[in-house]
Every structure is written in structure tokens, then in C-alpha cells.
């Protein structure tokens, strides 16, 4: 298990790139995404000692800032959408997948470390239930039960975010 970063600098080092990608999936402009991520970290700095899950807090704040930006800059956004529709280098499918990936990262960041670890062991390390059981001390049945509920929570979170399929 990776312990939570002890400083904002360490958190910035580990999460800045993923947060930038997440924000880009929403606002579709790199410079705006960079400003939103910077603002999220500045806001986190003000409440650092009060936040239990800094990663989740950052993703939620970045998402909220991005949505606020889109709402406040609607005419500019409409022009950008027209340009993006004409620009063949940014197909809608890729943007949808980027947003879906960013949402999954946000949902993972909001999970407990234990649940993230189960997902990492199963899908990143590609371990079988009995191997996860021996590493975590959970029974094989409990591994399956917990993974089922964690994945169901991810699916519910994606649906709440309006993401139903692989297209975003």
C-alpha cells in the first residue's frame, strides 16, 4: 500500500499530471486545465489540516472548478466546441474516454486505501483471489465480496457522472 503523501508538495508530485488530464477531459483546453489544477492546489493549501482525503478532495474541487468555468464561460466554450468539432485531431471518442478515465481516477481517489489496494492487486498486478487473500489477510470469499462492492460503487459513481459506456 502507498501511504498518503505527507505534504502538499508530495501530493502535487504524485497527482498533478493525472489531475491535469482529468481537467482537460472536462474543459478541453490545456491552459485552462492548468489554471484549474493550480487553483485546486492553492485551495487545498488553505484547508490542508482539515482534509481527511486530500486526493479525493483535489479531484472533487478540480471537477467543481471545471464545471464552474464551463458555466461561466459558455460563449467561449461554444466557440471551442465548434473548433473541436472541426479539428480531426481531437475526435469526440477520445475526449469521452479521457473524461471517463478522469472520473474513474476521481472515484478511486475518494476510496479508502484498502479498497484502492484491492483494485490495484486485482487489475494492475493481475493477482487471483487466493493470491490477494494471502497478501491482505482477507479470506478468499471476503476478497470477492469486497471487490464486488468496490466495483459496484465505481459503476454507480460513473453512472451518476453520466458515463454509461466506454465512449464516456
Instruction: Note the pLDDT tens digit of each residue in 24-64.
Output: 888 888 888 989 999 999 899 899 889 888 988 999 999 98
Q: Would residue 84 count as lying in a domain?
A: yes
The H or E element that residue 125 is part of is: none
Contact call for residues 168 and 96 (beta carbons, < 8 A):
yes
Is the domain of 26 the same as that of 85?
Answer: yes
Q: Would residue 72 count as lying in a domain?
A: yes
The more confident residue out of 77 and 9 is 9
Q: Would residue 26 count as lying in a domain?
A: yes
Structural domain that includes position 75: 7-90+105-110
Is the domain of 57 the same as that of 116?
Answer: no
Whole-model pTM: value is 0.51
pLDDT at residue number 77: 45
CATH for 165: 1.10.10
CA distance 146 to 51: 25
Q: Which residue, 50, 49, 48, 53, is CA-closest to 112?
A: 53
Apex 132 CA angle, 127 and 133, nearest 5: 150
CATH for 44: 1.10.1740
pLDDT tens across 7-26, in order?
A: 888 888 888 888 998 888 88
CA distance 111 to 46: 23
Amino acid at each position: 500500500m502507498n501511504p498518503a503523501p505527507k505534504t502538499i508538495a508530495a501530493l502535487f508530485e504524485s497527482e498533478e499530471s493525472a489531475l491535469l488530464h482529468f481537467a482537460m477531459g472536462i474543459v478541453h483546453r490545456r491552459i485552462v486545465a492548468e489554471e484549474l489544477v493550480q487553483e485546486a492546489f492553492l485551495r487545498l493549501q488553505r484547508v490542508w489540516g482539515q482534509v481527511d482525503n486530500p486526493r479525493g478532495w483535489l479531484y472533487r474541487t478540480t471537477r467543481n472548478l471545471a464545471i464552474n468555468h464551463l458555466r461561466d464561460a459558455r460563449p467561449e466554450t461554444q466557440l471551442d466546441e465548434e473548433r473541436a468539432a472541426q479539428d480531426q485531431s481531437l475526435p469526440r471518442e477520445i475526449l469521452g474516454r479521457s473524461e471517463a478515465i478522469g472520473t474513474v481516477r476521481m472515484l478511486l481517489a475518494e476510496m479508502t486505501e484498502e479498497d484502492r489496494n484491492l483494485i490495484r492487486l486485482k487489475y494492475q498486478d493481475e493477482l487471483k483471489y487466493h493470491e490477494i487473500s494471502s497478501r491482505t489477510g482477507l479470506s478468499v470469499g471476503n476478497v470477492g465480496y469486497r471487490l464486488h462492492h468496490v466495483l459496484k460503487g465505481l459503476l454507480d459513481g460513473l453512472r451518476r457522472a453520466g458515463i454509461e459506456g466506454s465512449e464516456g
